[in-house]
Structures are given as C-alpha cells and as structure tokens.
A and B are shown apart, each in its own frame.
Chain A
Amino acid sequence: ELKVEQNPLFLSMQEGKNYTIYCNYSTTSDRLYWYRQDPGKSLESLFVLLSNGAVKQEGRLMASLDTKARLSTLHITAAVHDLSATYFCAGGYNNAGNMLTFGGGTRLMVKP
C-alpha cells in the first residue's frame, strides 16, 4: 500500500525567500503529481513527474523526482503572495487504475 508523507504541513515565509516542500512515498509509484488548492477551491494540477531525475519548472515553482530515494520536492523561488495556497503531492499506479494517494498537504502562507 502506497503511503505519501509531506513536510512541512505548514509553512510561513516572507516574500522573496526560497523554500522547499518535501514529499516522501513508501513504495514504487508510477508517477508523482503536484497539485495546488486555494481556500474553498478545487485542486489544480501543477506537475506530473514521470521518471527518476525528472525536473519540471513553471514560474517560481520547480518540482523534481528521485525514485531511488522515493522523494519528490517542490522548490519555491523568490516567493510572492500569490503562491499562498495548500500544495499536495500524490502518487499513483497505472496497474491499479491510477487512483491517487495524497500526502497531507502543505499550507503555504507568503507574507508581504
């Protein structure tokens, strides 16, 4: 059974600073996803990481995957207030229909 853990659960940071959210998973996962959720809203897809060493970047966010360490990271560069949201990582197996197992989420607050 796949288990996914994120840390930290809560992150308060100043604008302009850098930080990393960590996502550890327990067993082999075919793909690793990152989603964003704004308060009262649904989940917005950010990244899909397919293989070991995969790195994807969009704006101030960069996600990476190390399948050997069973670790994915979401790095935030020069944070801005608009990045304030909750970020979830999730893993899935293709042979199990790819139902996602989510981490507990990281609530990010970026202060001006």
Chain B
Amino acid sequence: GAGVSQSPSNKVTEKGKDVELRCDPISGHTALYWYRQSLGQGLEFLIYFQGNSAPDKSGLPSDRFSAERTGGSVSTLTIQRTQQEDSAVYLCASSFVGLETQYFGPGTRLLVL
C-alpha cells in the first residue's frame, strides 16, 4: 500500500519567509509525528498528533514553528520567519497507535538562504 508521503521534496527559501510542509500519513494511522534531521542536532522530535487529542508540541524549537492536522489525516508544519538554522530535513512519520512502529516519509529538504 501507499506509504507516508511528503511535499515538497525540496524547498529553498529566503530568510524571513514563511514555509509550509505537508505530510500525508498512511491511511488508517491515527498517530502522526514530525521530526527534524540536521547535521548539528541529529534526529529530533518536533510534534505529535494522536487522533483528536491535543497535539504534544514539546519538541518545537520556537514559537515560529506550528503544525496542524486536519480531519485526523493530512498534517501541515509551518515555519514562520525562517532562519538559516531552520535548514534541515523535516521528516514525517505515522503509526497506528502507541508503541507501534513508526513509518517515515521521504522528508522535505529545507534550505534557508
């Protein structure tokens, strides 16, 4: 079946601009996660959605970062007023619930000039 998809695959933006990254999880998966992978910080958790519950935003690095999940499916990660240190690969993952294996999407490579 279809895996996790993300768009765009690459994004180049200028410092100070806003960007939106999209994630389509595997159908039926209620849990959705955003992670960031960068050379300096490795792989780090950003935000977690489970069903209709309030998201766990504990990993968001600043208030410039926000995310929403509409209809319990597609999620959008928004970064406002991008900074060069935001350059990274943003990975989305989904799973059924709880401790199930998380399946990762191909990622969005963001470059802030």
A interface vs B, CB < 8 Å? 30-31, 33, 35, 41-45, 48, 88, 90, 92, 94, 96-102, 104-105
Contact = CB atoms under 8 A, between A and B. Distances in A.
A99 B56 CA distance: 9
5 contacts: A31-B99, A35-B104, A45-B101, A90-B43, A96-B56
B99 A94 contact: yes
Contact of A42 (B31, B91, B99, B101): B91
Nearest to A46: B101
Given A41-B106, A45-B103, A98-B99, 8 more contacts: A31-B99, A42-B107, A45-B101, A45-B104, A88-B43, A90-B43, A100-B43, A102-B44
Contacts of B8: none
Interface of B: 31, 33, 35, 42-45, 48, 50, 56, 59, 91, 93, 95, 98-107
Main secondary structure on B side of the interface with A: strand
B50 A43 contact: no
Nearest to A99: B45
A97 B82 CA distance: 28
A98 B107 CA distance: 20
A44 B103 CA distance: 7
Contacts of B98: 94, 98
A101 B91 contact: no
Nearest to B35: A100
Nearest to A105: B42
Given A31-B99, A94-B99, A98-B99, A43 B104 contact: yes
Contacts of B100: 98
A90 B99 CA distance: 12
A99 B93 CA distance: 10
Given A94-B98, A104-B42, A105-B42, A99 B105 contact: no
Nearest to B49: A97
